[in-house]
Amino acid sequence: MRRLTARTRAEAHRTASPLELFFDLCFVVAVAQAGLQLVHAVAEGHAGEGILNYAMVFFAIWWAWMNFTWFASAYDNDDVLYRVVTLVQIAGVLVLAAGVSRAFDDHDFLLVWLGYVIMRLALAAQWLRAAGSATGPERTTALRYTAGVLLCLIGWLGLVLLPGPARPWLFLVMAVVELCVPVLAERGFETPWHPHHIAERYGLFTIIVLGETIAAATVAVQSGVADHHALGELLPIAAGGLLIVFSAWWIYFVVPIHGHLRSDRQAFLWGYGHYVVFASAAAIGAGLEVAVEQATGTAHIPTLSASAAVSLPTALYLLAVWALHSRHFKAGIAQQAVLPVAALLVICCTFLGHGAVLAAGVVTALAVAAGVILAARGTGRARLAP
């Protein structure tokens, strides 16, 4: 047992701990459940309702993950109590994951809310520990976080008590309130999160989500081949899906974002923007499953809808990564335009019928190639400059 005191941003060789990696893997269980339910909703022709429920559930998953990540970056002391409370948070996300199907099918958010309560109460306990070891503005910040977390839990109870039509509006209000808690809590004292550690944590979670996307698409293709012997229809989807996921990985990790975080005071915007990155990356896997089901006749939806299930989240991912990462490291109009133009072309691929997924994959791969070529030319010119 040790005091839960703040770490320092100048700490050398700060990396993700095994506990944090385990934490991420357990969270992906909930991500997978949300993606699976999105597949069912789109395949059954309820895309609008499915996307809304997906956005709400994914926000709960992402927000709990993000709050733990930034807290751990500033205060992780890896003692027994810290580990036990973190394991309680993991138990909470597993409860939340168990309630995802009921939230989608029956609009019953009780289990989702209970899982969220478990996670957030554990986080509030961590903040109280930090407050007990701090003084002055740091203690005030920790107590603000504690109060904000607990008050928001009461507000989210409306998902259980209010009628269905009111829930989307409650979600919108409560999401804004939740996002305001860190901004207000850190007025006067900024918690000492570590830029390199934060960048690594976000990158690792991106890898895990993309891995879940590959796993989901692989299972869908395997099932389609086994049950329908539709190898000819599935090979273009599999090839396009792999190109999209490989390109998504390359595009995200091509820039050293920790350097930008170290000097950027808009770290909140960067962290918040990853809701779109993570949600769209997970939705790509769901879209690939929908495309497979449509190709094998399992999902009775138009080809255009199945194509859009892949192309739209892919385009959203490209734009989000450009806005958060790439635009800070690109010089000149040509380099800046690669990802936005690629996103537009991916959307156009939606209308190519059964070859849409493969075409989208080719476009994203060409975007990677264009980025590499333009960066190499820029480097060569810099070396030749006097």
Higher confidence at residue 329 or residue 9? 9
Q: What is the pLDDT of residue 268?
A: 80
User: Residue 68 gets which letter from DSSP?
Assistant: H
Sign of the four-CA dihedral 336, 269, 246, 41: negative
Element (H, E) at 118: helix 110-133
Sign of the four-CA dihedral 248, 251, 252, 253: positive
Helices (H), 77-109: 80-98, 100-105
Dig out the tokens for 295 from the structure.
């190709």
In which residue are the tokens 């554990």 written?
A: 122
Dig out the tokens for 226 from the structure.
């086994």
Q: What is the pLDDT of residue 379?
A: 52
Spatial distance between the Cα atoms of 213 and 282, rounded to a whole number of angstroms: 6
Q: Report, as an integer, the average pLDDT of 242-253.
A: 91
Angle at 86 between CA 249 and CA 71, to 5 degrees: 65
pLDDT of residue 386 exceeding 80, the answer is no
49-60 per-position pLDDT tens digit: 889 889 988 998
Domains of the chain: residue spans and CATH? 18-185 (no CATH), 195-384 (1.20.1410)
Where on the phi/psi map is residue 172: left (φ > 0), alpha (ψ -120 to 50), or beta? alpha
Q: What is the pLDDT of residue 65?
A: 92
Element (H, E) at 239: helix 231-253
Spatial distance between the Cα atoms of 259 and 2, rounded to a whole number of angstroms: 31
Angle at 277 between CA 173 and CA 311, to 5 degrees: 110
State the angle between helix axes of 47-75 and 167-185 in degrees (0 to 180), rounded to the nearest 10: 20
Q: What is the pLDDT of residue 19?
A: 92
Q: What is the pLDDT of residue 193?
A: 87
Q: What is the pLDDT of residue 384?
A: 40
Q: What is the pLDDT of residue 66?
A: 92
Band of residue 372 on the pLDDT scale cut at 50, 70, 90: confident
Spatial distance between the Cα atoms of 275 and 61, rounded to a whole number of angstroms: 10
Spatial distance between the Cα atoms of 246 and 237, rounded to a whole number of angstroms: 14
If you count DSSP H runs as helices and E runs as strands, how many of each does the chain have, helices first? 15, 0
Dig out the tokens for 39 from the structure.
């597949």
99-123 per-position pLDDT tens digit: 888 888 888 889 999 999 999 999 9
Spatial distance between the Cα atoms of 340 and 323, rounded to a whole number of angstroms: 9
pLDDT of residue 264 exceeding 80, the answer is no
177-225 per-position pLDDT tens digit: 999 999 899 888 888 888 888 889 999 999 999 988 888 778 777 777 7
Q: What is the mean pLDDT of the chain?
A: 87
